[in-house]
Amino acid sequence: MPASRLHLVRHGEVHNPTRVLYERIEGFGLSDAGRGMARAAADHVAESGRQVTSLVCSPLQRAQESAEPFAQRFDLEPLVDERVVEPWNAFRGKRMRRAVMNPLNWRHLVDPSKPSWGEPFAEIAYRLLEAMEAAWDATDDGDVVIVSHQAPIWLAHLAIAGQKLAHSPTTRRCALSSVTSFERPGTGPTGFAEVAYAEPAGTGIDLGAV
């Protein structure tokens, strides 16, 4: 039989003293608080009685470090999947407030629905849904955890709910170390259905997300 439930887990708080959009830049790991947040996410899944048998994560440092508590708690080896990585963004390495005030960058802001500043929403949603389906089908029993990033998780939520993908990044319901859970009853456009959302880690410094 396939998996029982799939959890999309966002990484924890990142050490980002310069407050830039870290995108896919190397060297952005978790802060001390972020490591605690990642543990809280793993504790939440375990203490809710779920048995995780498959663990997938983004190749970026902050996601791999956020997967470590799940690996330890459930004795698993994380599988790195490029499809669940942070989207690329024209503002990588920049402080967003300064960047949008610079007229040279305004060409990246002409079409928020695509968006014109980075990877198209449809491509982000497609690759994460593809990774979800692959992980689900490869798991014979138990739950799957995929540690990813804010934009892919929120876009998967929108696609599964049958909602428009165009949105403002300020409206995303995807806190640091949040857990968005799905089952697959076979209905809807993707076959997945969202069954729970939790923020076991509380709040952190949420800067630098694409």
Output the pLDDT for position 147. Answer: 98
pLDDT greater than 90 at residue 189: no
Task: Return the bridge partners of 80, or none.
Answer: 57
Output the pLDDT for position 208. Answer: 78
Average pLDDT, the chain: 94
CATH label, 5-17+30-88+119-198, candidates 3.30.390.50, 3.60.130.10, 3.40.50.1240, 3.30.2310.20: 3.40.50.1240
Residues 34 and 11: their CA atoms lie apart, in Å, by 8
- Ramachandran bin of 37, using left for φ above 0, alpha for ψ from -120 to 50, beta for the remaining angles: alpha
**Better-predicted residue by pLDDT, 209 or 153:** 153
pLDDT single digits (tens) 7-43:
999 999 999 999 999 999 999 999 999 999 999 999 9
Per-residue pLDDT band for 202 (boundaries 50, 70, 90) equals confident
How large is the average pLDDT for residues 85-93?
95
- Chain-centre distance of CA 202, in angstroms? 16
Per-residue pLDDT band for 205 (boundaries 50, 70, 90) equals confident
pLDDT greater than 80 at residue 186: no
**Better-predicted residue by pLDDT, 63 or 209:** 63
pLDDT greater than 80 at residue 65: yes
How large is the average pLDDT for residues 174-190?
91
pLDDT greater than 80 at residue 187: no
Interhelix angle 61-74/32-47, rounded to 10 degrees, is 40
Per-residue pLDDT band for 96 (boundaries 50, 70, 90) equals confident
Q: Cβ contacts of residue 166 below 8 Å, gap of 6+?
A: 112, 113, 114, 121
Residues 151 and 40: their CA atoms lie apart, in Å, by 21
How large is the average pLDDT for residues 116-121?
95
